[in-house]
Amino acid sequence: METVVYLDLADDEIEVCIKGPTAFDYFTSPKSGEIERQEAYPYSKYGTDHLRFASIMGKFDPYAVFLRDPIEVSDLSFETLLPHVLKRQKGVSA
């Protein structure tokens, strides 16, 4: 299971940030193709609290909206993440 703290649909891919074993890890999950790790923000530098991390990232990208309550997903595939993104876009808690 993966703990998702950020989701965003961008064109034909979903940007996702998870609480990894040692860092907040950003991935892109395309509609077709391989999931790619984009960046990692180590806990040793940013801490493990996702709300604190969200406030730090908000200084760099004020339009990024993190999940207040992280969600658990079985994998980071586009198909798995899409329903959560759509719920969030409709204003329903993911």
Which residues are CB-neighbours of 7 under 8 A, at least 6 positions away? 14, 15, 16, 67, 81, 84, 85, 88, 94
Domain assignment present for 27: yes
pLDDT tens sequence across 14-63: 999 999 999 999 999 999 889 999 999 999 999 999 999 999 999 988 88
Q: How many domains does the chain have?
A: 1
CB 17 within 8 A of CB 29: no
Is residue 26 in a domain? yes
Give the range of the structural domain holding residue 17, as residue numbers without chain letter. Answer: 2-89
What is the reported pLDDT for 92? 53
Assess if residue 67 is contained within a domain. yes
Task: Establish if 25 belongs to a structural domain.
Answer: yes
The verdict on residue 94 lying in a domain is no
- For residues 70 and 61, give the distance between their C-alpha atoms in angstroms, rounded to a whole number: 19
Q: What is the dihedral of CA 37, 38, 43, 48, to 10 degrees?
A: -80
Mean pLDDT across the stretch 70-88?
93
